[in-house]
Amino acid sequence: MHRLLTAALAGLLLVTAATAQKRQVKLMGWGDTTTMAKYAILEEAFEAANPDIDLVVEIMDATSYARKLPVMIASGTAPDLFEAGLERAASFGSYAEKGAYVDLMPLVERDGVNLDDWFPEVIASCYYDGVLYNLPKKLNSPACVHINLDLFDAAGIPYPTRDWTWDDALEMARAMTKDFDGDGRIDQWGMSWPLAQGVEPAIIRGWQWTRDEGRQINIDDPLFYESLQWMADLVHVEHVAPSLEETEGAGLPGYLLFTTGKVAIQSGGRWQTAIYKREVGDRFRWDTIWMPVKDLSEKRSYTIGTEAWGIYRGSKNIEDAWSVLKWLAGPGGSRVLAGMGGAIPAVRSVAASPDFLDQGPPSREGNRWWLEAMQHAVRPPREPHWTKVEQLMTQVLKLGWDGQRPFKELALELKPRIDEILQEKPRSTPQSMWAVALGGALVLVLVVGLLRHYGEEGDGRSLRERLRNRQIRQEALYGWLFIAPHLVGLFVFTIGAILASGYLSLTEWDLFGRPQWTGLGNYQRLWDDPIFWKTLYNTIYYAGLRVPLSIAFSLAVAILMNLKMRGILWWRVIYFVPAVSSSVAIALVWRWIYSKDFGLLNAFLDWFGLPAMSWLTSETLAMPSMIIMSVWWSVGTNMVIYLAALQGVPDQLYEAAEIDGAGAWHRFWHVTFPMITPTTFFLLILGTIGSLQIFDIFYVMTQGGPNFATTSLVMYIFQNAFEYLEMGYASAVAWVLFAIILVLSLIQMKFSQWVHYEGERE
Amino acid sequence: MKHGLYQRIAVYATVALGGLTMVLPFVWMLSTSLKTTAQSMAFPPEWIPNPFVWENYTRITDYMPFFLFLYNSVKIAFFVVFGTLLTCSLAGYAFAKLRFPGRKPLFLLLLSTMMIPTQVTLIPVFVIMKYLGWINTHYALIVPAFFGSVFGTFLLRQFFLGIPNELEDAARIDGCTPWSIYWRIMLPLAKPSLATLAIFSFMGTWNDFMRPLIYLSDMTKMTLPVGLALLANHQDIRIPLIMAGALLSLLPILVLYVFGQKYFVRGIALTGMKG
C-alpha cells in the first residue's frame, strides 16, 4: 500500500514535470461545435510542428464571447491570443481603443514576416490608428445561398446562376414547396431564411447602413425595409419558407431542415459550408451561390467580415503567443482551415490553391466568386455605440420576421431611437469627489450614532466599568473575535459596496480609468429611457401576476396535501422537486416545451384541435409563458410554507366550527383563511421581492426578447454593466430596484416581528 | 372529517393530476435526452425513444468538459458551505450568548442589510474582485462566503437563543473559554440547524447562475449551470444532448434531495424564498 502511494506520487511528479516543460498559450474565439472541431485539428497540426508549446483553445458562442471579452480585458484576465471581428466597432475597434493589443510590427520586422502574403485590403483593416494589432484568420460573408441540387433535379428545375432575381427565386421556391402526404403540414420547403441573414438582402442591393457621416441610420430607406419585407413575406404571405420558430425556435440551429434534406434553397453564411460538409456528407449534392437581387441592374455589394487574432498586451507569454499567431495566420494554419471548408483564406497563395478552390462543395466556380465578391465589400459602421444599435435592431426587427408587424412601420419607429444613440456625445464633467466624501461622512455619523444610541441601552453599567472585570473583558473579546469575519463582510461587501454603488450611480465608468462624475445624469437618462420603463413594467407585470397565482395554487395544493391520505408524503416529495432544481436546467427544458413546432404544449393544443401558439416569440404571450412556468416552479416552495402554517391551525377551531354546523367552504373561509393570513402576507411580500430580482430563466429562455418583452430590471442591470460596460448607468438602475425592495421590506417589517429577544442574555 | 368515496377519488385524482404536471417536464427531459435528433423533432411528439440513444450521455463530453464543470461546482459548493457554516455559527453564537459592547446595534444593522438586494452590491463587489485580481477565479465565488450570510447568522442565532443558559454557566464554572464552549457544546447541539443551513447554502450555490456568469470566463473554470447554458447557446448543438446535460446536472441535487428531504423542506420553509 505504502509503495503504491509512493509510486503514485512519483508518477504525479513526473507528469507535472512533463507538463511544466510545455509552455501554455491560451487562445479564445467564438463559433460553434464545428469550430471546436476545426480548432482541434489546428491545435494538433500546430503542436506537431511546435512540440514545446501547448496550445489551449476555448470556443464560445458569439454572443457570450462578445459579452465576456471586454470584461476580461478590463479585469486583466484576457487570454494570450484572442479573436476579433475587424469590421465591428464593438469588437476590434473597442479592444484596440482600450489598449488590449501588443503592437505586432516590431515582431513582424524582426522575424521578416512578409505582409504581402495576405490580401492587401485585409491587412489594411488589421491596423487601428496606424498600428498593426492583428493578423487575419479568414474572411466570411453572410451573403450566401446554399442549394440542394438533388431537390432541383427531382423537380426538374435548372440550377440558379449568380444572376438570379427575387422573381426567379420565388418561382423556384413555389415549385419545390410540397406537402407530400396531404396532411396540411409542409414536408419540403422551397426556401429558408434564417435570422442570421438579417439585413443582407438589402446590402446586396447596395443599401448603406448610415448616412450623414454616420449620424443617421439609413433604415428609413425603402431599399432596407422592402428587402426585409420580401424575405419575411416568403414565410407569412407566400408560405414557401418555414417560420423562424420552425427553423430556430427552442435554440435549434437554423439550417437543420436543410441538412436533413427538407429545404431546397437555404440562405446562410459562408461559414456554414463547413457545417454542411460535416452534416450532409454524401446524402445529397449541394452548392453555394449568392443571394438573389430584385433587379439585375442594381448595384451589388456584399458584407465581408474579417476574423483575425491579436496578442493580449497583458499576456505573460508574448513570445510563444507570437509563434502561435505567426503559424495560425500564415500559410500553414490558413491551409488547414481552408481544407475544412467555411473559411475564405486571407492568405493569397492559399486562396488561389486547390486547397481552397477544390475542396468542394462548393464548386470551384462558386469559390472563385467569393474572391471576386471581395471587390464589392461593404463594412458595417464602426460607431462607438454600435453594440447597442445592433441589439435594439435585433429586438425590434424580430417582430417583422415573425410577421407580427410590417418592417416599414418598425423601421420608421426605430429610426429616431437609433439616431439618438448614434448622436449621443460622451458626457464629460470634471470629477468631484466632495459629494461622495460628504455622503460617506453622513453615513458614518449615522452608524456611529446608532451604535451609541443602542449601545447605552439595556445595561446599567458603563463600558469602562465593565471592561475592568477580567472575565467580562474576555467574553467581550471573544464576542468581537467571533463576529469579526462577519463584520468585515458587513462593512466591506455590504455597506461599503452599497455606498460605492451609490457613488457609481452618479458617475460614468467603463471599468477603465477613473469614474467620471455626472451628478444625477444617469437618473435623468433613466427617466428618458423607454427601455428602462419597459423593463420596470415587465418586472412589475411578472411579479404582480406570478406571486398571487403561485400563492393561490400552492394554498390549494397545501390543503390537499394536508388531508390524511395514503401515500400523501410521496406526493409532497414530488410537488417539491421543481423547487430544488436549478433554474438553468428548468429553463432549458421549458424552452423546449414551449417550442412552437416541436413543443409538448402545442402538441396538447393540437390534440384538442387548437391552433399552435408562439409561446416565447410573441410579444404579448412571452411574459405570460414565463409566468406559467414560474408558477409551476414555485408552487412547491410556497406549498411547504403553507403546510407548516396549516398544521399550526388548532383542531379545536375546526371542531367548534363543525359543531356550529359550518360546511367545508365555511370552515375554510372563516377558520383556515384568517389563521394563515400572516403566512399569506409573508409569502406575498417575500415572493414579490424574489420575483423583482428575476434573471436566470429570462436570460436562458428568451434573452429578454422579443422587443424587450421579457427583459427584467436585473437583466437590464446585467446588460448595462457587463455588456455595454456602463457601470454608472447600471448602478442607477440597481438603485431603483433597491428603492422598490426597500419599501416592500419596510412594509413587511412593520407587520411582522423578525427580531425576537426572548432567551437572549442580558 | 369524513369523506365520501367519490369525494376521496376526486381529491386523489386532483392530487395525481397536479403531481403529473410537476414531473412531466422532467420525464420529457429524460425522454428527449435518449432520442435521436430526428425523433426529438417529430410532431406530434413521441414519448418512447426509438431507438434509445444512450450515447447522448457519453457524447456530451465531446462538446463540454462536463466532469470538470461538475468538479468545479462541487468544489465551490463545498467551500461555500464550509465558510458559511463557520462564520455564521461563530457570529450566531456570539450574538446570542456572548455579552460585548455594540452587540445589539450591530445585530440590528446586520439584519437591516437583509433588505439590500444582491444586485445592488453586484457591481462594487465585482470591482473589489477586480482589484484583488480574482476575476475568473473561484476565489471570487468562495471567499465572500467566509464573510458570512445574514440569513445564516440569523438562523443560528435563533437556534442558540433556545439553548438554556444553565448549560453554558456550568461549563464556564468548569473553566471553559467561550471558544471551547462554542466548539465542544454549542456546535454539537446545533447539528440539525447546521444541516439545514448547509443544505440551504449548498442549494443556493449549486444553482447559482448570475455570479459565476459574471466572474468566470475560462471554460475550465465554469460551474454546471453556466457551462450548460453556454453549451445550449451553440448554434449547432442538438436538443437531446442539451437535455442529457441538463438532466445530469440535476442528478446530484435530486439525489441529495431524496436523502435529505427534511432539511431541504426546513431550509425553504425558513426563508420562503428562492431564485
Q: Which of A245, A232, A143 is nearest to A191 (CA)?
A: A232
User: With bands split at pLDDT 50, 70 and 90, how would you rate the model's confidence at A530?
Assistant: confident
Asked if the peptide bond before residue B225 counts as cis, ω within 30 degrees of 0, the response is no
Q: Which of B14, B182, B275 sits opposite A694 (nearest CB)?
A: B275
**Mean of the per-residue pLDDT values for chain B?**
86
Confirm if A719 and A727 have CB atoms less than 8 A apart.
no
Please tell me which residue, B152 or B5, carries the higher pLDDT value.
Answer: B152
Provide mean pLDDT across the span A475-504: 90
pLDDT at A755 over 50: no
Confirm if A370 and A270 have CB atoms less than 8 A apart.
yes
Report the half-sphere exposure of A656 (CA within 13 A, side-chain side). Answer: 8
- Do B45 and B161 belong to one domain? no
- The DSSP secondary-structure symbol of B184 reads I
- Do B123 and B163 belong to one domain? yes
Q: Which of B63, B121, B230 sits opposite A497 (nearest CB)?
A: B121
Specify the pLDDT at position A425: 60
Q: What percent of chain A has pLDDT over 90?
A: 19
Q: Is A565 on the interface with B (CB under 8 A)?
A: yes
Sort out which chain B residues have CB atoms less than 8 A from A687's CB and list them: 272-273
Asked if the peptide bond before residue B44 counts as cis, ω within 30 degrees of 0, the response is yes
Interface A–B counts its CB contacts (< 8 A) at 386
Provide mean pLDDT across the span B19-24: 92
pLDDT at A82 over 90: yes
Cell numbers representing residue A541 in the block: 407585470
How many helices and strands in chain B, by DSSP H and E? 16, 0
Return phi, psi of residue A25, to 5°.
-125, 125
- Do B112 and B171 belong to one domain? yes
Q: Is A600 on the interface with B (CB under 8 A)?
A: yes
Nearest CA in chain B to A196: B235
Provide mean pLDDT across the span A474-493: 89
Decide yes or no: CATH 1.10.3720.10 for domain A524-751: yes
Q: Which of B8, B98, B120 sits opposite A735 (nearest CB)?
A: B120
Confirm if B123 and A727 have CB atoms less than 8 A apart.
yes
For the stretch A422-443, what's the b/e string if a residue is b when 16 or more beta carbons lie within 10 angstroms of its beta carbon?
Answer: beeeeeeeeeeeeebeeebeee
Nearest CA in chain A to B101: A455
pLDDT at B71 over 90: yes
**Residue B114 belongs to domain with CATH number:** 1.10.3720.10
Sort out which chain A residues have CB atoms less than 8 A from B7's CB and list them: none
Is B225's CB within 8 Å of A644's CB? Answer: no
Give pLDDT tens digits for A92-137.
Answer: 888 888 888 999 999 999 998 888 888 888 888 888 888 999 999 8
Specify the pLDDT at position A375: 73
Cell numbers representing residue A86 in the block: 475587424
Nearest CA in chain A to B268: A637
Q: How far apart are CA B86 and CA B194, in angstroms?
A: 10
Nearest CA in chain B to A558: B15
Q: Is B261 on the interface with A (CB under 8 A)?
A: yes
Q: Which of B20, B249, B140, B217 is nearest to A571 (CA)?
A: B20
Sort out which chain A residues have CB atoms less than 8 A from B258's CB and list them: 573
Torsion, CA A83, CA A88, CA A92, CA A96, rounded to 10: -170
Lowest mean pLDDT of A643-657, B8-22, B47-61, name the range.
A643-657
Q: Is A689 on the interface with B (CB under 8 A)?
A: yes
Q: Is B10 on the interface with A (CB under 8 A)?
A: no
Q: How far apart are CA B232 and CA A33, in angstroms?
A: 11
Testing the interface with A: which of B176, B211, B217 to mutate, by most A Cβ within 10 A? Answer: B217
**Mean of the per-residue pLDDT values for chain A?**
82
Q: Is A469 on the interface with B (CB under 8 A)?
A: no
Sign of CA dihedral A471, A472, A476, A479: positive
Q: Which of A32, A488, A745 sits opposite B235 (nearest CB)?
A: A32
Give pLDDT tens digits for B43-64.
Answer: 778 888 888 888 889 888 888 8
Specify the pLDDT at position A631: 94
Q: Which of A260, A654, A693 sits opposite B117 (nearest CB)?
A: A693
Please tell me which residue, A757 or A470, carries the higher pLDDT value.
Answer: A470
Specify the pLDDT at position A758: 36
Sign of CA dihedral A554, A555, A556, A559: positive
Testing the interface with A: which of B119, B127, B142, B180 to mutate, by most A Cβ within 10 A? Answer: B119
Specify the pLDDT at position A450: 66
Q: How far apart are CA A733 and CA A274, in angstroms?
A: 43
Cell numbers representing residue B238 in the block: 442538438
Determine the 3-state secondary structure of A28 from DSSP: strand
Total structural domains within chain B: 2
Radius of gyration of chain A (CA): 32
Sort out which chain A residues have CB atoms less than 8 A from B203's CB and list them: 580
Testing the interface with A: which of B107, B126, B196, B235 to mutate, by most A Cβ within 10 A? Answer: B235
Q: How far apart are CA A353 and CA A482, in angstroms?
A: 73
Nearest CA in chain A to B91: A483
Residue A725 burial (CB count, 10 A): 19
- Do B80 and B94 belong to one domain? yes
* Closest-CA distance of chain A to residue B79, Å: 16
Specify the pLDDT at position A716: 94
- Do B144 and B98 belong to one domain? yes
Cell numbers representing residue B85 in the block: 457554516
Residue A217 burial (CB count, 10 A): 26
> Do A144-303+383-423 and A524-751 have matching folds?
no
pLDDT at B20 over 80: yes
- Do B110 and B33 belong to one domain? no
Specify the pLDDT at position B144: 93
Q: Which of A271, A272, A240 is nearest to A256 (CA)?
A: A272
Determine the 3-state secondary structure of A59 from DSSP: strand
Nearest CA in chain A to B183: A482
pLDDT at B266 over 80: no
Provide mean pLDDT across the span B232-236: 75
Specify the pLDDT at position B94: 93
Name the residue range of residue B176's domain. 59-271
Lowest mean pLDDT of A74-78, A202-206, A251-255, B203-207, name the range.
A251-255
**Domain covering A144-303+383-423, topology:** D-Maltodextrin-Binding Protein; domain 2 (3.40.190)
What residues 423-452 of chain A have any CB closer than 8 A to a CB of chain B?
Answer: 447, 450-451
- Do B129 and B265 belong to one domain? yes
Is B232's CB within 8 Å of A251's CB? Answer: yes
List CB contacts of A124: < 8 A, sequence separation 6 or more: none
Give pLDDT tens digits for A439-459.
Answer: 667 777 777 776 666 554 444
Testing the interface with B: which of A58, A255, A588, A593 to mutate, by most B Cβ within 10 A? Answer: A588
* Ordered DSSP codes for A742-754: HHHHHHHHHHS--
Give pLDDT tens digits for B94-144.
Answer: 999 888 888 888 898 888 888 888 889 999 999 989 888 898 899 999 999
Specify the pLDDT at position B26: 94
Sort out which chain B residues have CB atoms less than 8 A from A256's CB and list them: 37, 41
Cell numbers representing residue B272 in the block: 420562503
Q: How far apart are CA A551 and CA A547, in angstroms?
A: 6
pLDDT at B267 over 80: no
Provide mean pLDDT across the span A682-699: 90
Cell numbers representing residue B262 in the block: 427534511
- C-alpha A239: how far from its chain's center? 31
User: With bands split at pLDDT 50, 70 and 90, how would you rate the model's confidence at A382?
Assistant: low
pLDDT at A160 over 80: yes
User: With bands split at pLDDT 50, 70 and 90, how would you rate the model's confidence at A250?
Assistant: low
Give the containing element (helix H, strand E) for A279.
helix A272-280
Sort out which chain B residues have CB atoms less than 8 A from A68's CB and list them: 217
* Ordered DSSP codes for A124-168: HTTEETTEE-EEEEEEE-S-EEEEEHHHHHHHT-PPP-SS-BHHH
Q: Is B253 on the interface with A (CB under 8 A)?
A: yes
Nearest CA in chain B to A477: B100
Is A593's CB within 8 Å of B225's CB? Answer: no
Q: Which of B64, B61, B3, B229 is nearest to A564 (CA)?
A: B3
Q: Listing from the earlier edge strand, what are the strands of the sheet with A53-60? A: A53-60, A23-30, A81-85, A305-311, A134-140, A344-345
What CATH number matches the domain at A16-138+305-377, 3.40.190.10, 3.30.365.10, 3.40.50.300, 3.40.50.1000?
3.40.190.10
Provide mean pLDDT across the span A328-348: 83
Specify the pLDDT at position B243: 92
Spell out the domain ranges in chain A. Answer: 16-138+305-377, 144-303+383-423, 434-506, 524-751
Specify the pLDDT at position A762: 42
- The DSSP secondary-structure symbol of B146 reads G
Q: How far apart are CA A198 and CA A186, in angstroms?
A: 24
